[in-house]
Each structure stands twice: as structure tokens, then as C-alpha cells.
Amino acid sequence: MLASFAVLTAGLLVFHRAVPNSVGRTGSLLESFLPWLGLVVVALLVLAALRRSVTALVALVLPAVGWTCLFGGLLLPEAEAGPYDMVVVQHNVSDANRDPVGTARVLAAADADLIALQELVPPATAVYEEALAPRYPYRTVQGTVGLWSKHPLAGVRPVDIKPRGITEDWSRGLRAVVRTPHGDIAAYVAHLPSVRVRAAGLMSSWRDESAGLLGEAVAAEEQTRVILMGDLNSTLDDRGLAPLTSRMNVAKRGFAFSFPASFPVARIDQIMARSATVGRIRALSRTGSDHLPVVARITLR
């Protein structure tokens, strides 16, 4: 039985794309927590050792290799710090954040070139604007998302990523051209719809539709170099983000679990790039939000 579970775990790891999404978004639900199958491997290893089952121990080689191939690289340190061109921070500050001043302090301490924020609501938005102004003289807020920059901004506009089923006012995307010393870069900030886990499965249709709209906007972007920062309410393994992950580069080092802040189990706050490399991604100190900020270095091509 232990050997059978080991083979099943290996199959889920290696062939997770084969798990259908037609019923309850089962595939996306599995992919949202795919790294945690490593704990299943550890538990099976302990049981196999206690049972002294040679067959189970041999079978466990399969999921162990599968997990290592998928996620082992994220645990490795960067070969060398090396040169980089920009630092960017992504943070959902939470519309229920009771300490925007403290949150702004954590964000400013990262000394990033760009800071992308979601769930901006008054009066907290004014607090972020005032607190970040000394280091970030350029900013734009569109709806509930915003971008703070050390470099001038141009071509600022909202990006329509609202699913058809949402009828109320809803503005969660923006695009701006950042005039950096290394040339112009299109910066996108987005907050995709939330997902819910119900008895019927993962409720993610709005998120998936919004990801498709954002992917189309990025594909149509005329600037060669693009940086996307956002609360995408999904992990990079989730096929729901395929319209973005198929077009952009992601970090190859660091798990940087960002949600929930009290006990992070997944990174749903993402930094992606086109014609640029995203270095190791890491989480910053906890703020008054239910998310952790994440930061990454960007090397332009």
C-alpha cells in the first residue's frame, strides 16, 4: 500500500497537467498546493522506514525525484549575486490594513525602483502617497491598484481585466511606461479576482477569465521589455495563469510564500518579466496586511 501511494504521488507530481479541470477545477486546486506533496513523500518515507519496507523505499525514489525536478531548483542559492538593473516590490496591502504607515516603512526599506500595491482604498491611499513620496516622487493609482517609482512615468492608463460577470465598478489593472536609465519598460500592476474553495471544488472562473484578459494585454504591449507585478490569486504552477506564464519569465529561485501572512502556504503575489530575467524572489517582513510583500531583482536583456 505504501508503494502504491508513492507511485500515485509521483504521478500527481509529474503528470499534474493531466488531472482534469472540468469538475471543480480539480487540476488547478492540486497545482495550487503542488509543492506540499513533498510532505507526503516525507510521511511515506517515515512509514516505510518504520515498516522496514524495501519495496516502499524503492518506490519512494519516484516521487522524490519528481519533486526535486519540479521544485529543487527553488531551494538553491543564486550562483552569484551578479549585476542587476532594477529591484521591484509587489504587495497587496489589504483594504483592512490598520497600519499603513508601518507598511509603507517596510516597503520603503527595500529600496526598490518600483513598488506595486493592490487593495488601495481611502484614506490609506493618501497615507501611502505621503509616506513614500520622499523616495518615490512618481506614482499613479488606478482604481484600487497603484505604482510608485523612482523613475518618471509616462503612458499611464488603466487596463481592463474585469470579468463579464462583475457588474459593479471594478478597476484592478494599470499600465505605465517607466523611463529608467536602462531604457523604457512597460510596467503592469494587476489584482486578479479571488478564488474560493467550496465543497464543489475550486471557484476560479473569474480569476481565469481575468488572467486571460491580462495575458492579451501583455501580448499586445508594444514595449519590448515588460514587468508584471500583482496579486494574481494563484501560484505559478496553476494552469489558470497559463496566459501569463506562457508569455513571461518567472523567478527560478525562492519559494517566497506570501499568503496568508500568519502562516504562508502559497505565493499568490507574483513578479514576472518579458525580455528580462527575474532573480531570486523573497518575502519581506510582515506588515499590517494578510499578505507578505515580495521582492525580486530584475536583469534586463
DSSP reduced 3-state for 83: coil
The three state secondary structure string of 233-286 is: CCCCCCHHHHHHHCCCECCCCCCCCCECCCCCCECCEEEEEECEEEEEEEECCC
Torsions phi, psi for 226 (to 5 deg): -135, 140
Which segments of 68-151 does DSSP mark as H helices, in order? 73-75, 100-109, 124-132
Domain C-terminal end among 75, 108, 127: 75
**81: in domain:** no
Cα gap 86→180, rounded to integer Å = 9
Domain C-terminal end among 55, 75, 95: 75
How many separate domains does the chain show? 2
**Which pTM value belongs to this model?**
0.94
Range of the domain at 276: 86-300
**141: in domain:** yes
**159: in domain:** yes
Whether residue 259 is found in the same domain as residue 111: yes
Q: What is the pLDDT along the chain (301 residues), one digit of tens a residue?
A: 999 999 999 999 999 999 998 888 999 999 999 999 999 999 999 999 999 999 999 999 999 999 999 999 999 877 656 789 999 999 999 999 999 999 999 999 999 999 999 999 999 999 999 999 999 999 999 999 999 999 999 999 999 999 999 989 999 999 999 999 999 999 999 999 999 887 777 889 999 999 999 999 999 999 999 999 999 999 999 999 999 999 999 998 999 999 999 999 999 999 999 999 999 999 999 999 999 999 999 999 8
Residue pointed to by grid coordinates 472562473: 205
Whether residue 233 is found in the same domain as residue 101: yes
